[in-house]
Structure 1
Amino acid sequence: MYFDDCKNFPDATLNPKLLWEFNLINFDFKGMRNIVVQRVIERGWPNDWYFILNKYGIGEIKLAIKELAYLNDKDMSFVSHQFNIPLTSMKCYEKKQSLNLHWDS
């Protein structure tokens, strides 16, 4: 995995700009896991990835990825490859496949 060395960065912090609309002083990182993981996937830097890997662990991140309602194609492919998650087991992939798109879009 790309971030295998996450244990070397135990003091990694999350960029507060990723969660700009929340008060991070009393933020429930456990309850808001999916939002945090999605923001890091979409906009995070390596330090943010180290933070969530140390905070949640690979198992929890995999669960969050499978539950996310939306990821763009690039992000979906990246996390599928990095975490060895089949696209078909991701909610965002299933939702995308069920959309009735116009034939030339």
Structure 2
Amino acid sequence: MEANQKMLDAVKWVSGTGCVIGFIIFALSFFVSDYNKDYIFTVVGIAITLSAAAIFLVGIFFVLTEEMVMNTHKGERIEPETTKIIKMKSKAKTHTKRSTEFSN
């Protein structure tokens, strides 16, 4: 976990800063409506907040994936010498004739 701690801290700071900045832009533009007549800054604030949340989720996914890969036991694959499959021997090979005609 120590190897991924730097990446986890970076993701946490970047996404946290983005969420705070996005929320501040959203709150200022939404409540001070004289400054923002078309609500463009409101949409920008929401987009920054959602983008920061997406960055956080992707970063967590990468950290968890790397942890799973590093903790997986990797060894030689051992195949059993004998199998429990019983082979059936056919006494006679019979060929069946199939018709290709269809009836109604």
Q: TM-score, normalised by structure 2?
A: 0.22
Between structure 1 and structure 2, the one with the greater Rg is 2
